[in-house]
Amino acid sequence: MRVVMLSTSASHHPSPRGRWLPLARAATAQGIDVIFLGLHPQYHALQAHITYEAGLTIQHVAQMHVDAAGPLRGVRLYWTSLWAVFRLAKCAISFRPNVICLCKPQPINGLAAIIVQRWCGARLILDVDDDEADSHEFASMVQRLIVTWAECTIPQHASTISAASTWLLRRFGTNAIQIPNGLYPDQFVPASPNTQEFLQQRYQLPPRYLLYFGNLAMHSHGVDLLLRAFAASQSPYPLVIAGEGHDRIALQLLAEQLGIAARCLWIGQIAHTDIPALLAHAHLSIDPVPNTIAAAARFPLKICESLAQGVPVITSPIGDRASLVGDDDFLVPAGDSRALAQVLTKLSRLEFEATAFKARVQQLQWTEVGPHWLAHHRLLRDV
């Protein structure tokens, strides 16, 4: 059996790295031939468009709808998107797949998947990890309508659907199963003088800190809420902010206005291989979220990774977060910076036992999650 995955993201981005490539590895471990086709934000600068990993082929086929400067606009956006549809479809057809796995129903990869389905007669399966229409800010209402159309229409062509969160499971109904994000136990490292020295040399970090890592966005990730809460808190720790996003400059200006610029350490985008070491020396991890559809639809990988490292997470009871965190002391009302400030102050004074937090995600191992995904999509039947 041959499965071709179609994604609009690059292989190093959070969703492919944290979800679709582990699922692909679970398939290759069962003897299934898997090809991951994605788009890349710096496609024309790539030295190698194809890489191989233990039976898994990873190929970037065209420019993503964003580049180093941010989202593409106007004619360039539409031309780049149409070319990406063509390239994804053409490359997928060349592999003659039995199954097309659509990595969330976006217009670009969704149209490509339908073309391949019609051309090859391949079975179409769908895996979804968020709500696209509510996750992004669009330059025009037309763009939002196109994305909304894709999310509503393209799933109707899928034979089976897997969804990361409980919220998404309710959206897709009886044709779907929940497959949460998983973890690899060996990706986490204990805190040690070596990890501390590594963080100090590479990122100039102190021995202990509060941590936010992820997209630097206000609409979808509430980083501005975190800055306001941190300014009102009495935490003795600095706040490390790891990641990039189109709101970074605005957020840095907000930190200056709040008088906390000297207490915030902006370390930019980091390699995903550095995340375990970064977490190993964090006192707390913070996941500030607004009460939105996008927040409810996600099964946050950053919470899973933090807990697996033994680091407690402060977040809000939106979507699956309450069941993941499992302790009301770490939950604050969404959008309430004052409540978040109080919890930051309180929990900064406490010490925690890592074992209890690791136990919260012990069942989220890819060795357990992967087989459920394979079975639901009937990927083992013809092997």
Per-residue pLDDT of 53-103, as tens digits, reads 878 999 999 999 888 777 888 888 899 999 999 999 999 999 999 999 999
Mean pLDDT across 141-162: 90
Residues of the chain with CATH 3.40.50.2000: 2-182+365-376, 185-360
Q: Indicate if the pLDDT at residue 345 is higher than 60.
A: yes
pLDDT tens profile 5-25: 999 999 998 899 999 999 999
Average pLDDT for residues 223-248, to the nearest whole number? 94
> 238-266 as b/e, with b when 16 or more CB fall inside 10 Å?
bbbbbbebbbbeebbebbeebebeebbbb
What tens digit of pLDDT does each residue of 290-318 get?
899 989 999 999 999 999 999 999 999 99
pLDDT of residue 273: 86
User: DSSP state, 47?
Assistant: S
This prediction's pTM: 0.89
Do the Cβ atoms of 330 and 347 come closer than 8 Å?
yes
Output the pLDDT for position 381: 56
Architecture (CATH level 2) of domain 2-182+365-376: 3-Layer(aba) Sandwich (3.40)
Residues forming beta bridges with residue 284, ordered by sequence position:
210
63 contacts: CB under 8 Å, gap ≥ 6: 39, 40, 41, 43, 44, 80, 83, 84
Closest CA to 32 of 117, 170, 125: 125
CATH for 185-360?
3.40.50.2000
pLDDT of residue 383: 40
Say if CB 264 and CB 241 are below 8 A apart. Answer: yes
Long-range CB contacts (within 8 A, 24+) of 223-226: 223/247, 223/251, 223/288, 224/251, 224/254, 225/288, 225/290, 225/335, 225/337, 225/340, 226/286, 226/288, 226/340
CA–CA separation, 259 vs 340, rounded Å? 18
Q: What is the pLDDT of residue 55?
A: 84
> Residue 276: exposed, middle, or buried by beta-carbon count in 10 A (0-12, 13-18, 19+)?
middle
Residue 285 near residue 200 (C-beta atoms within 8 A) = no
- Judged on CB neighbours under 10 Å (0-12, 13-18, 19+), 279 is buried
pLDDT at 245: 84
Q: Report the C-alpha gap between 357 and 313 in whole angstroms.
A: 9
Strands 209-213 and 282-286 come out as parallel
Residues in contact with 219: Cβ distance below 8 Å, sequence separation at least 6, in sequence order: 137, 290
Evaluate if residue 382 carries a pLDDT over 70.
no
Residues 6 or more apart whose CB falls under 8 angstroms from that of 95 comprise 2, 4, 35
pLDDT at 252 over 80: yes
- 103-123 pLDDT, tens digit per residue, is 999 999 999 999 999 999 999
Residue 66 in tokens: 């964003």
Q: Are 39 and 62 in contact (CB under 8 A)?
A: yes
Q: Which two tokens stand for residue 264?
A: 């915030």
**With contact defined as beta carbons under 8 Å apart, do 2 and 30 qualify?**
no
How far is 216 from 214, CA to CA, in rounded Å?
A: 6
Q: What is the pLDDT of residue 219?
A: 76
Residue 233 clears pLDDT 60, i.e. is over it: yes
- Could you say which DSSP state residue 226 is in? H
CA distance 88 to 24: 18
For residue 73, the model assigns a pLDDT of 84
Tokens for 94, please give them: 């060349």
